[in-house]
Amino acid sequence: MIVVTLHPKADEELVAAAVHYVAHASRKVAEDFLSEFDRAVTLLQEHPGLRTPWHGKVRRFPFRRFPYSIAYDETAGRRRIVAIAHQHRRPGYWRDRS
């Protein structure tokens, strides 16, 4: 199976989004958000090259129910999530992450 890792800032973004949903929606919505993240990661592990390039070598995997996308790069045998990016806020802010 392909290894998926998170950039430390992407991990912070994931937690911040879940906390936001707990505070402004409900614990159930936050759990659904995290489940959608898990679903996306599983698909990234199982299907290399699942999405087309978005910015340079970075690919985007949009969530189904939430306005977020996973921005990730891939090399042989691994996917590195560089951002859990809201689709309507600060486009491309994560581009300098390595």
Sheet holding 68-75, edge to edge: 3-6, 78-86, 68-75, 58-62, 53-55
Q: The tokens of 49 are what?
A: 């090259």
Binned at pLDDT 50, 70 and 90, residue 53 comes out as: confident
Q: Is 57 exposed, middle or buried (0-12, 13-18, 19+ CB in 10 A)?
A: exposed
Q: Are 50 and 74 in contact (CB under 8 A)?
A: no
Please check whether residue 35 lies inside any domain of the structure: yes
Q: What is the CATH number of the domain that holds 42?
A: 3.30.2310.20
Binned at pLDDT 50, 70 and 90, residue 50 comes out as: confident
The domain in which residue 80 lies consists of 3-86
Please check whether residue 65 lies inside any domain of the structure: yes
Binned at pLDDT 50, 70 and 90, residue 27 comes out as: very high
